[in-house]
């Protein structure tokens, strides 16, 4: 191995961090700080601070110790930012508190393995060389994020770049996407560390170069925010989105089916002539083959130029499933057509892995409508009076590359959800911010319809133009505008930043020198 350790660090930068327990606490806090960058807190500036704290502890550690360090940071991040899953398990999954706590801890601990593996790999690649570690840190971080976003269906939540829907890097989102923003935030944390380190070593000129280089994206991005990457129509499309606020406990109870349909029809009564009417995920809680009378009633009342889009389960023959099956779907009714079947299913919520073993063990493994089949790829957008509307159901909006690919050659984005599963937690607000990032990345308006909030209209810059508060039965009215063209990110997805990460790994990693 290379013996060039002239730039290695063998002790923590700060003496206090030589204490094992203090180091562990610092890593957990550093992870938790990232949760504060997201909605509803919006302290985006804590992103580089979080990265800096991690580096202060981890730069001197061996690869073996880096695994546990990454796991602790992950526990801080997911324990604070994704613990809302407890509400789904306990309150709506009919599961006892001890088992709910156990499953939540297992969920968080499992997610924390992704940064743990990334940090271990980081140590293996850079060995003890601090310069290599600093250069490779942002590359390793986003590769860990990317892996977490697709392995075992993926958990593309809490990507640090999402915090910049309202941050200074927002202007770069249509160019590099959320992973690119995350890379820049991680690189900024590494640059702060490097600048301080170089100053301590009396290398002021080098410190100045690093600081200036790190500032460039933060100075350029606000100017790019004024660039319109897509062409926005001047002709508005009127929108009415219904937020029914149906309690989750009765959502699938047949005794309350009529009440739910009557509620949505009553809310829609004054808006039948609106261009686009939206009902949320599974607003019609019976399959389309049993909902003929409801669909006919909607058609009879809609205006000639109006389209109603609603979430509805679908039952029929599926080539993918090799037989008759259920899909979580969304369909257009009236002056429009099309049906979309959800592709990114939520484990346990919409399907149960190892179903033959887990079904019946606890209530959480027997949730209503948890036997859906994934829809086919490359589905067409819905047609709403000539407007090409690309729909996404609930969790799908969290997949950046998936959404960017499907948004090509569409006019408008739409997402429906039922965030009632997460109760009064930060989960629905994080979900809304994720939808805002997707609108920003693609330069398109997005309509977000939910059962109990937050229903919103989001413009092509990721800003909310109208919204309904959570836990209210109300109708959101407003206007959206069609978009044409593609942002740079839609053309490339995350491949440029992922390729950059791989290039850094190939050329910066510490190589093994063969013996003569």
253 neighbors 290 (Cβ within 8 angstroms): no
Select which of 342, 344, 461, 482 is catalytic. 342
| Residue 394 designated active-site | yes
Select which of 127, 251, 281, 396 is catalytic. 281
**In the structure encoding, which two tokens stand for residue 285, read together?**
């809680």
C-alpha to C-alpha distance for 74 and 79, rounded to whole angstroms: 8
| Residue 7 designated active-site | no
| Residue 281 designated active-site | yes
Full DSSP string of 292-310: HHHHHHHHHHS-TT-EEEE
Select which of 127, 344, 350, 394 is catalytic. 394
Full DSSP string of 448-485: EEESSS-EEEE-TTS-EEEEE-TT--EEEEEEEEEEES
CA distances from 468 to 22, 162, 299, 453, 475 (A): 43, 22, 26, 7, 8
47 neighbors 163 (Cβ within 8 angstroms): yes
**In the structure encoding, which two tokens stand for residue 95, read together?**
């599961």
Q: Is the dihedral of CA 416, 420, 422, 427 positive or negative?
A: positive
C-alpha to C-alpha distance for 38 and 41, rounded to whole angstroms: 6
Start-to-end CA span in the chain (Å): 13
Residue given tokens 């109300």 in the structure block:
474
Q: Please give the angle made by the CA atoms of 113, 115 and 117, to the nearest 5 degrees.
A: 65
- Report the catalytic residues: 281, 342, 394
């Amino acid at each position: 191995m290379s013996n060039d350790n002239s730039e290695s660090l063998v002790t923590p930068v700060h003496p206090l961090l030589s204490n094992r327990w203090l180091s562990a606490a610092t890593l957990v806090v550093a992870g938790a700080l990232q949760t504060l960058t997201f909605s509803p807190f919006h302290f985006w500036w804590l992103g580089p601070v979080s990265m800096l704290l991690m580096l202060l502890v981890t730069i001197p550690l061996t690869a073996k110790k880096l695994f546990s360090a990454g796991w602790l940071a992950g526990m801080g991040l997911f324990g604070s930012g994704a613990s809302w899953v407890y509400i789904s398990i306990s309150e709506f999954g009919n599961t006892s508190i001890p088992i709910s706590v156990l499953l939540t801890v297992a969920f968080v601990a499992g997610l924390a393995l992704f940064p743990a593996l990334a940090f271990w790999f980081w140590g293996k690649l850079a060995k003890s060389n601090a310069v290599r570690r600093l250069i490779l840190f942002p590359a390793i971080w986003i590769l860990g994020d990317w892996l977490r976003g697709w392995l075992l269906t993926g958990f593309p939540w809490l990507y640090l770049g999402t915090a910049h829907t309202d941050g200074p890097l927002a202007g770069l989102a249509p160019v590099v996407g959320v992973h690119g923003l995350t890379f820049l935030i991680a690189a900024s944390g590494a640059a702060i560390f490097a600048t301080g380190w170089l100053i301590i070593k009396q290398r002021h000129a080098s410190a100045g170069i690093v600081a200036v280089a790190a500032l460039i994206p933060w100075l350029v991005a606000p100017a790019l925010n004024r660039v319109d990457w897509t062409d926005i129509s001047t002709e508005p499309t009127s929108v009415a989105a219904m937020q029914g606020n149906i309690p989750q406990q009765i959502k699938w109870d047949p005794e309350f089916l009529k009440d739910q349909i009557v509620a949505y029809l009553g809310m829609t009564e004054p808006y039948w002539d609106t261009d686009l009417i939206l009902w949320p995920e599974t607003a019609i809680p019976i399959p389309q083959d049993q909902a003929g009378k409801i669909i006919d009633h909607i058609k009879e009342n809609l205006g000639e130029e109006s389209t109603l889009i609603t979430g509805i389960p679908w039952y029929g023959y599926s080539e993918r499933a090799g037989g008759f099956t259920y899909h979580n779907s969304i369909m257009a009714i009236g002056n429009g057509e099309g049906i979309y079947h959800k592709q990114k299913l939520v484990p346990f919520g919409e399907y149960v892995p190892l179903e033959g073993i887990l079904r019946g063990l606890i209530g959480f493994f027997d949730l209503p409508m948890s036997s859906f089949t994934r829809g086919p790829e490359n589905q067409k957008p819905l047609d709403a009076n000539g407007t090409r509307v690309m729909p996404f159901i609930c969790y799908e909006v969290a997949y950046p590359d998936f959404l960017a690919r499907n948004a090509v050659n569409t006019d408008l984005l739409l997402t429906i959800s039922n965030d009632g599963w997460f109760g009064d937690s930060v989960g629905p607000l994080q979900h809304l911010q994720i939808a805002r990032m997707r609108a920003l990345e693609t330069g398109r308006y997005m309509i977000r319809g939910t059962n109990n909030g937050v229903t919103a209209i989001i413009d092509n810059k990721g800003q909310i133009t109208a919204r309904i508060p959570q836990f209210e039965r109300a109708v959101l009215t407003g206007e959206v505008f069609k978009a044409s063209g593609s942002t740079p990110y839609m053309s490339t997805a995350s491949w440029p930043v992922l390729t950059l990460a791989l290039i850094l790994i190939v050329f910066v990693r510490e190589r093994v020198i063969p013996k003569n």
